[in-house]
Each structure stands twice: as C-alpha cells, then as structure tokens.
Structure 1
Amino acid sequence: MSTPDVSEGRRPPRFPSLRRFLPSRTGIANSEKTAAALLLLFTVAAIVWANSPWADTYQEFWGATVDLRVGDVSLELTFRELVNDALMAFFFFTVGLEVKHEFVVGELTDRSRALVPVVAAVAGLLVPAGIFLLINPTGENAHAWGVVISTDTAFLVGALALVGPKFPARLRVFLLTLAVVDDIGALAAIAIFYTDNLQLTPMIVAVCLLALIALVRYLPVGSGPAYTILAVALWFALYAAHIHPTLAGVAVALLIPAYPPRRSAVERSLELAQAFRQSPNPSYAQAATKGLRDSLSINDRLQAAYAPYITFLVLPIFALANAGVRLDEATLSAALTSPLSWGIVAGLVLGKFIGITGATLGLRALGLGTLAPGLNLSRVAGGAALSGIGFTIALFIVEIAIPDPELQDEARVGVLTASVIALILGWAIFRITDRLNPPMAIGGTLARPVDPARDHIRGNQDAPLTLVEYGDFECPFCSRATGTIDEVREHFGSELRYVWRHLPLDRVHPHAIESARASEAAALQGKFFEFAPVMFANQDHLEFDDLVRYAAGVGLDVDRFIDDMRSARVVNRVQDDVLDAEFMDLHSTPTFFIGEARHHGPYDAPVLIRALTDFRERNDDGEAGTGTGTGTIV
C-alpha cells in the first residue's frame, strides 16, 4: 500500500496538518445524514406541536405579523410568510447556484453523460403530474398538481446515505444530476403556473434590476455589496409585481458567473502566500486572503458560504413552519377519502418510480443512453422510489396553490404519507435486489470491462491476456512497477495488453489528482504513454508549473493542455476511474487485475508472469475482449 514513508525515500505530504480540516467522503455522507435527521426532527416537532395541548399556539405564532415600513411604504408579512417568501429565497438562491455550476463546470457539461438522468428527471416531473390529474381532473384540487413534481434533494441524499445499497457512489451522482433538473422544472412551474395578477410597473423595474445584476461581474471592485443591494431590490420588485419573490434567489444565482479556478489567479495567490511566508505582516496576509478568495468563482464562494446555513437553519425552520398538520380524527378521516391526498401519494410514490425507472429503461432499450459502471436498473429503481420523498418544495407549493386551510392539511398529510412510503419502498428495493443479486465480492472482480474506446492500452487491443493496473502517478511503488510492467510485456509480446486506470490517493499524495488530470490532457493529444513516464521520473516535482514544463517537453500544445486539464471532460474521466475503484473498495496502489480477477500478493515480474501464464492455461479458449474506438493504444 502506498504510504508517505520517509524511510522509503519518499517525502511526507505537504501541509499534513491541513488535511485535518478537509472534508472526507465519510464526512460528506455524515453531514448529509445529519441534515436529513435534522429536517426530520423539525418535521416531527412541528407535527407534535400542532397536535399538542398547545396546538393553538402553533397557528398563532406562525400567523403573527411583522410590519416593515420605509417612509410611506409598508410591508406586512406573517412569520410563516417571512419564512416562505424571504428565508426560502436563500434556499432557492443556493439551488440556482448549484444549477448554474452543474451546467457550466459540473456533471451537466457533458451532454452525453447527463442524458439519462436528465430525461429521467423530465419523466419524473411529467408522469407524477399526469397521475395526479387523473385522480383530480377538475376543480380547485387540479391546480395543486405542482405539489407532486419535485423531489426533496436534502431528504433524498440523506435517505440514500441511511438506507441505500452498498457502494452507492454512482447512484448518488445519478440522483444529484436528476435532482438538479428536477429543481429547474419545479422552479419553472412556480414561475409560470403559480404567479397571479402580474403588475406591469414593478415587473419592468425587476427586468431592469436583472440587467444591472448581469453587469455586476464587470465591476472592478465592490461586486459583493452590489449583488446584495440589487438582489434585495429585486425581491421587493417581484413581490410588488405579484411574482413569487423567492424566484429572485434563482434569478440572481443564474446571473452570477461560475467557472473553474483560473490559472493566473491560482498562480497569483501562490505568489502572495509565499510572500507572506517570507515576511508575515498584515498587508501580505490581507492580500493573500483576497488572492485565494478571488481564485475561485463567486458561485463557488457563495455555495460554500450559504450551504451550511440553508441546510442546518433555513430548511429546518421551514419544516417547523409548514409541516404542522393537525392529525386529529377529522383531518385523517378527510385525508383518507380525499382525492387530493391520494392524488399526491400516487403522484409522488408511483409517478416518480414509474417516470424515472421507465425513462431509464426506455433510453437503454433504444440505445440512446447508458448507465455508469456499477449502476444498474435495480439501483435506479431504488433511487426512483426514494425520489418520491417530496417535502420542501412540495409543502412550499401547497401553501401557494391551495387557498383552503382544510385542503392544505389534507395535502400535507398526503405529502408526509408519500414521503414515508417512498422511504420504505426505496429501502425494500435496495434490500431485496441486493439479496437477489448480491454486489460483487469487494474488489474481487473488475467493475468495468476493458474498453478500447476509453481505456489507455499498451499492446494489441485484441490480445488474449489482459493486465489492468489501478495506479497513482505520485506513488513511489507505482513508479517502481513500471520496470516490472516492461518485463512482463516483453515476455508475452503481442499476447498481452496492459491497461492503466487512475486511483489517485489524494489523502497522502497531494498532487495525485492534478497529475492524473494532466495525463488525461496529454491523452487528448495522443501522448498519454509519452507523458506518464516523465511524471514517474519526477515524482518530487509535480507542481502545476512542472506539469506544464513536462507537457512542453513531450511536444504538447501547452495552451490546449492547460485548458483540457480544467475541462469537465478530463475531470469526469478521472472521476470515473475513482468511482470504479471506490465501488471495488480499492485503497492501495498499485492494484492489479489479471483478466477481470484481482491479483493478490507480490507484483514483481516473475509473479505476474506466472499468474498470467496460469490464467492462459485455464482459459485457452477465452478472449480478453475486442473492440474498436479511440482509446489510447500504443
């Protein structure tokens, strides 16, 4: 296993103390569980409060008014409206930031990668609405179809962490991509179908404010205060125009620029940090802090700044303000026979499951989309079931789509019931399918067959023997293994194909991920196997400038190389291998596979040659695989 062992001639990782402050994958999963648990806790608290001996105080408190006055202009809001119209604008702001980020630099930049979850998300919007309208085709209930279209992202990822299958990484990426599109659809529905009595003059003001917000990015200084002032003004303009003011959060977020870290800004921040290290003083500290901040887009900075407050403060308060349905005999009896309640349950539980699973199955049958390695239809079905947890936006639309308080209670019972059923159904699907089709023995079998169209291959792509290595360019053991690989290839000649895949151990090798991306950028210019040995030979010098120098040395177009390193295509390509390794529970480098079976034990040349020879003797009639494509083959 690769470790930062000084005795092996390997320097320890830079800034080891910094690692303590960086979130691990486990930390992320735990925070999602905590967020979901907190949301559930406040939901239960609201229900208990609304059904306690002090139930009257629940409505009295949230119905109390706040009067805001500026000169002759006044604004009167109840506490519930203050939460739903004002605080929730921050929630929709973070949703908008996420949507913008995903389309500009995230998962949705690769249209082929996004096709299946995007189409599944659209089906997951339309089918639930259709089922709801079948049950409530006319009358005032029909206007509440928007309640069933949205999945609660916070509850979804929390539920996946709690009841999901083993190795859920691929499913989580799929569901998050789906949730982004789901959010877009829900926000569009609010803007188009749940806005009444449009006022022209405030609307014109709002359009002018949007134009000004779009120009803020060109200000040399003061963009933060400018965004804040204009966003508040936009909120008031939309409120006066009778457009739901929470949409101000989305509009502002979509106009805020998002981009990968810029090379010049990153280099400038490094220079400032080095200056501060040499001469610590307040001026250098302030300049270094500003340089580090400015190296990231304002979208990234705002997401990081607001997300904890939204997750751990705004959403729980929203749940407390809106989930307090009175579960007395009259309400439950009415909900039990109410087409509104049953329409919501059927729309969320059946509609999401049928829409998402059916769309995924249809795309695969038509050959229009593929699922990521390790992600099969049964897992998508479990995720589709969990997508029936419609809470935050569902309760939000209940408030604005249904004027009758009694019908609102029936709708809330439907939302809460659907969310419980969806959680149980998702859990059951995961448990049953994992029992009927147990996950592979951890790391025992190659998760994804070799694909000449994408894998980096040395040798005859149709060779009967295959040796796959998961490696790390900063790992000293991987560097030493290159000589072993050369001996093995020389021994078998055209009978062997060697395949490289990425497993950057970034917790001990700080340059591993960037080095992997650099190799992929070189691969886009057809020089993966020319570039990789240079990095192995210079493992103590893998800073960004070093990588650029090596790129020039092997004859790459340096400008294109730099752009490709930051591209979504390259980032996602490395991440694909990382997720495969995580799925197989691989933790050390190098890790070898003979054919599709994991090799255990020593990996010196004689051992690998013997293992490959044994494999050949057992599989005289087998083939390592065929295919054509554009993978790196040398």
Structure 2
Amino acid sequence: MIQKSILSPFQKFVNIESFSGVLLLIATIIALLWANSPFRESYQSLWQYKIGFTAQNFELSKPLLLWVNDGLMAIFFFLIGLEIKREFLIGELNSVKKVAFPLFGALGGMLIPVLMFFMLNNKVETSVGWGIPMATDIAFSLAVLKVLGDRVPLSLKLFLTAFAIVDDIGAVLVIAVFYSGNVNIVLLLVAMALLGLLYFLSLKGFYSKFLIIIFGIAIWVLFLKSGIHPTIAGILLAFSVPVRQKIDTPTFLDKLVNITNNIKKAAVSKKPILCKEQIEQIEDLDDWTNRYQSPLQHLEHKLHDWVAYFIIPVFALANAGVVINGDTSMEQPLIWNIIICLVLGKSIGISLVVMIAKKLRIVEIPEEITHWHIIGVSFLAGIGFTMAIFIASLAFESSLIYIDSAKIGILIGSLISAIIGFFILSNTGKKSFRKANKNSSTQSEDDYLSIPCSNKK
C-alpha cells in the first residue's frame, strides 16, 4: 500500500540534480576567480566573519564558513536522510536483489580508493585524509549523464543514483565515527533521547513539522556541543519523518467531492473575497490535503530545490576558493594522492568489484548495461567534489595548507574523472543502446515519473 501511494519523481530528480551540477560548477569558478583576484582579501574576510551570540553560560559564535559547513550542510544531510529512508522503504534499495548491484559498486568505490590512499601516502600528518576519495558528488555526475542524453540507458542513471546514496551512507558513517571530536556523553544521550521521542511519535502516527523544527534545532546544538559533527543530526532527524499517509486515495477523493459540493452550495460573495462557508471548506481542504500527503515525500519535495539551487552552490562558493600562485606552498604528494585515488581508485574499484560479483552471479546487471557503461560510470563516480571537500575540511581543520592542497587534488581529480567518464560513455554508442533497449523490457524514463496507482473500481 505504501508503494502505491508514494510518487517516485525520478525524471524531475535527475533534472534538478543536473542543473544543480551546473550551478555548482559556476559557483566553483567564481570562488576560484575571486580567491585569486585583487579582491582575495574580501573573499577570506567574508567567510571568516563571525556570527552568533553569547550568554552567561552558553556561546554559539562561528565564522560564516562554519555556519555554512555545519549549519546549511545539516539541511543537506537531512535531505540525504530522507532520500535514504525513501529508497530503503519503497525505492531502488528496498530489496536484496535491487540493492546488490549498487551496493557492490559502492563497496568497491569506497574500499579501493581508501587502500590506495594509504599505499601512496608518505606522511603521518596527511594519513587522516583517507576518507576524502570515498564519496561521489551526485549532482555533478548526473549532470554529465544528462548531457549524454539517450546515449546512456535509464538503468545506468538509476544505478548511479542508488550507488551514490549507498556511497553517502558510507561517507556519513565515516564522518560520524572517524571525523568527530571528543564526545560529551551526557549531551549526546540527551540528543538521542529527543530523537528517541520523535521516533516513538512517528511510530504512533504523530507528525508535526513545527515539532521537527524545534527538536531539530535542539538536537543540532546538542550534537555540536557534544563533539559529534552536527550534520549527523540531520541524517538521524530525517529518519523520524513518517513515510505513510494518514488517509488513502479513495477517502481523500470522497472528501474532495464533498468539499467541492459544499463550495458550490455556499453563497457567492459579490466582492472579490470568500464567504464564511467557503473559507471553512478551504480550511477543511487544507487539513485533508495535509493528511493525504506523505510527510517524507512532501518535505523532500520542498527541500530539494533549496538544497540543489542554494545550499550546495553556497557551499561551493565558500569552500572552493583556493589561492593558486607560486608563492603559496602546497603539499604536492597529497594533491597527487587524491587525484590518483579519485581517478584510478574509483574506476578500478567499482569496475573490478561489480564485474567479479557479476561473474560469481551475486548481482544481476540489466542487459542494456555493457562493461563499457560500467567502466564509464565508474569514472564519473570519481567526481568527489561536495562530500570530498566537506571531509577534507574535517580531516585537516587545523592545517590550511593541507586543506587547500586537498581541495586542489579534488578539483583536478574530479575534472579528469568527468572528462574520461564522458568520453567513454559518449563513445559507447547511441545505436548499441537503442538496440539493447528495443530488445529489453526496461521501462522508459517516463515510467519512473510515478509509481502506478490502481484504478478505483
């Protein structure tokens, strides 16, 4: 019943993420130009400007950069949490058969780059950056696939999306376990108690967005002060949002008919305002609409544009401004290490593990996806950008040289990965895909606009 009542707007998701990738690129270019222009001091002073407040026994004051990385990115992680919950309940990860293909790809795409990083690393101080080449930037990678159009099968886009979500889960766990500070157990327990209360209310069918906001702010502050990175609070908070509707479609349609009839019967005012009866019916309609909507789907829909078109570009603008000139010392081995891990570690890891799993018949790969498709998309997975820069800022927070070096490695590695992936996939051939697609029973992209609903008899 849940599956029939929740839309899965995959086509819109791809369009949003693709345009977000374009904005991300524009913001990155602006940040690089600004940071290396005669106005570079204004760039640094803007993001280091402190904002906050101080009370007698409490202080919450941070540079603007950290408000972006700890605050706005918590909303980004909240959206990731909503997507993870949806995918596991009703989406591409809701069965062992569906999850196997992207799971093995994600495992190879995380483990091999990490092993390669340790093998190539030559300094103890930079060894903490092992988590940087793990993650994939879904906005950039889907933007490349969008440019390729129908030269790549829809199932490959679904694989990349599901793969990136599994990849995000791994990155979130790494941040929570390895990139958090000293933990204040008392504050953490208070935060977990508040989360437990929200989970209990969700289980009982109670949901209030105002309660989510109030509890969310409190939990975010508690995580921040406890030593656990506050973005983790966003993920855990998202799991408390119910996916179920309170009423089904037939009930809503019956109420809709009644409300429509009551509005027709109500007196029509000659003035350009509603009469009392019409206002009551409209309020009743709002109430029933809220009951009919899935809270998780509604929140995800409302947040997606804000995250894609505002939060992620602002994050790029704040973090991608690396000063590149001959006077600035850089950690060259770290730069090369990250480039190699993103370009070769990701591509070898994903391709090798997926093909071995296929050979052992552990996973089933759609017929229209060829070996070259897997190799091409594995290079696109090397576009690390957003999550990679985020992990770099946590790993090297005490060293500006290491942070800037890591960012340069991420930017170059992501660019090379995007070019190679695009070249491979564009040369795989439109004809071969169309032939495979014609002979297969794969659904078209329009079929993923929504999950089919049964007609009322």
TM-score (norm 2): 0.89
Q: In structure 1, the residue corresponding to 2:197 is in which secondary structure?
A: helix
Tell me the CA shift for residue 70 of structure 1: 4.8
| Aligned equivalent of 1:366, options 360, 363, 375 | 360
- Give 3-state SS (helix, strand or coil) of 1:75's partner: strand
8 Å Cα contact 1:195-1:243 kept in structure 2:
yes
Match of 2:138 in 1: 153
- The whole-number CA distance in structure 1 between the counterparts of 2:446 and 2:127 is 54
Preserved CA contact (<8 Å) 1:89 1:246: yes
Match of 2:330 in 1: 334
Counterpart in the other structure of 1:476: none
Indicate which of 388, 413, 418 corresponds to 1:418: 413
Checking the alignment, whether the CA contact within 8 Å between 1:170 and 1:372 is kept in structure 2 is yes
Q: Indicate conservation of the 8 Å contact 2:205/2:242, yes or no.
A: no
2:259 alignment counterpart: 276
Distance verdict in 2 for CA 1:360–1:218, change over 3 Å: closer
Query: 1:262-296 CA distances to partner (integer Å, 9 max, x unpaired)?
Result: 6x432222122112221222222222232223223
Q: Deviations over 1:104-140 (max 9, x none)?
A: 1111112112201111101111111111111115411
- CA distance in structure 2 between the partners assigned to 1:25 and 1:126 by the alignment: 28
How has the CA–CA distance of structure 1 residues 48 and 364 changed in structure 2, closer, same or farther, with 3 Å as cutoff?
same
Report whether the alignment pairs 1:37 with 2:37.
Answer: no
Query: Relative to 1, partners in 2 of residues 1:170 and 1:351: Cα closer, same or farther, differing over 3 Å?
Result: same
Q: 1:227 to 1:141 in 2, by over 3 A?
A: same
Q: Which aligned pairs between 1:180-329 and structure 2 lie closer than 5 A?
A: 180-217=165-202, 223-259=208-244, 261=245, 264-280=247-263, 281-329=278-326
Kept in 1, the 8 Å contact 2:17–2:138? The answer is: no
CA distance in 1, matches of 2:10, 2:89: 24
Offset at residue 71 of structure 1 (A): 5.4
Per-residue CA distance 1:551-573 (angstroms, 9 max, x = gap): xxxxxxxxxxxxxxxxxxxxxxx
Which residue in the other structure is 1:514 paired with? Answer: 453
User: Residue 32 of structure 1 contacts residue 161 of structure 1 at CA under 8 Å; is this kept in 2?
Assistant: no
CA separation in 1, counterparts of 2:451 and 2:400? 57
Partner of 1:126: 111
1:220/1:120 Cα in 2 relative to 1: closer, same or farther (>3 Å)? closer
- Kept after mapping to 1: 8 A contact 2:135/2:388: yes
Q: Spell out, residue by residue over 1:78-117, the C-alpha distance to the aligned partner (whole angstroms, 9 max, x if none).
A: 0000000011000000001100111111111121122011
Q: 2:389 aligns with which of 365, 390, 395?
A: 395
For the residues of structure 1 that align with 2:415 and 2:148, how far apart are their CA atoms? Answer: 13
* Percent of aligned pairs sharing the same letter: 31
Residue 114 (1) aligns with residue 109 (2)? no
- Picking from 393, 403, 407, the partner of 2:402 is 407
From 433, 440, 443, give the equivalent of 1:447: 440
Matched to 2:262, the amino acid is S
Distance 1:184 1:442 in 2: 32
- Give the counterpart letter for 1:139 in structure 2: V
Q: Is the 8 A contact 1:164 1:430 kept in 2?
A: no
Cα 1:141–1:265 change in 2 (3 A) is same
Alpha-carbon displacement from aligned partner over 1:412-444 (angstroms, at most 9, x marks no partner) = 000000110011010111133328x8434597x
Would you say the 8 A contact 2:367–2:436 is kept in 1?
Answer: no
* Long gaps (5+) in structure 2: 1-6, 264-277
1:179 CA displacement: 0.7
| Count of aligned pairs | 436
* Structure 1 position 180, deviation (Å): 0.9
Higher relative CO (Cα under 8 Å, sequence separation at least 6) belongs to: 2
Deviation at 1:387, TM superposition (A): 0.6
Q: Structure 2: how far apart are the matches of 1:385 and 1:186?
A: 18
The DSSP-based 3-state class of the residue aligned with 1:334 is coil
Instruction: Label 1:344 to 1:248 Cα distance change in 2 as closer, same or farther (>3 A).
Output: same
Shift of 1:210: 1.6
Q: 1:214 deviation in Å?
A: 1.2
Q: In the alignment, does 2:423 pair up with 1:428?
A: yes
Which residue among 97, 122, 147 is the counterpart of 2:82? Answer: 97
CA distance in 2, matches of 1:410, 1:502: 44
Mapped to 2, the partners of 1:278 and 1:305 lie a distance apart of: 30
Distance in 2 between the 1:180 and 1:442 partners? Answer: 27
- Which amino acid in 2 is paired with 1:386? L
Could you tell me how far apart the structure 2 residues matched to 1:447 and 1:265 are? 34
Change beyond 3 A, Cα 1:447–1:221: closer
Q: Deviations over 1:208-253 (max 9, x none)?
A: 1121221232677662211111111111111111111111100101
* Letter in structure 2 aligned against 1:334: M
**Counterpart residue type for residue 163 of structure 2:** L
Q: 1:85 aligns with which of 70, 84, 99?
A: 70
Q: Distance in 1 between matches of 2:445 and 2:14?
A: 20
- Label 1:292 to 1:239 Cα distance change in 2 as closer, same or farther (>3 A): same
Cα distance in 1 between the residues matched to 2:451 and 2:116: 49
Distance 1:186 1:388 in 2: 14
CA contact (8 A) 1:275 1:284 kept: no
Q: Is residue 379 of structure 1 aligned with residue 335 of structure 2?
A: no
CA offsets 1:347-378 (integer angstroms, 9 cap, x no match)? 11111111111111001111111112312221
- Alignment CA distance shift 1:101-1:24 (3 Å): closer
Length-normalised TM-score, structure 1? 0.65
Q: Which amino acid aligns with 1:266?
A: T
Q: Please say if residues 319 and 392 of structure 1, whose CA atoms lie closer than 8 Å, have aligned partners that are also in contact.
A: yes
What pairs up with 1:346-361 in 2 under 5 angstroms?
A: 346-361=340-355
Alpha-carbon RMSD: 2.7
Q: Is the 8 A contact 2:8 2:451 kept in 1?
A: no
Counterparts of 1:228 and 1:295, CA distance in 2: 21
The Cα offsets for residues 183-229 of structure 1, whole Å up to 9 and x where unpaired, read as: 00000000000012111221121121121221232677662211111
The 5-angstrom pairing of residues 47-86 of structure 1 reads: 47-70=32-55, 72-86=57-71
1:162 aligns with 2:147: yes
Q: Which structure has the highest helix share of the two?
A: 2
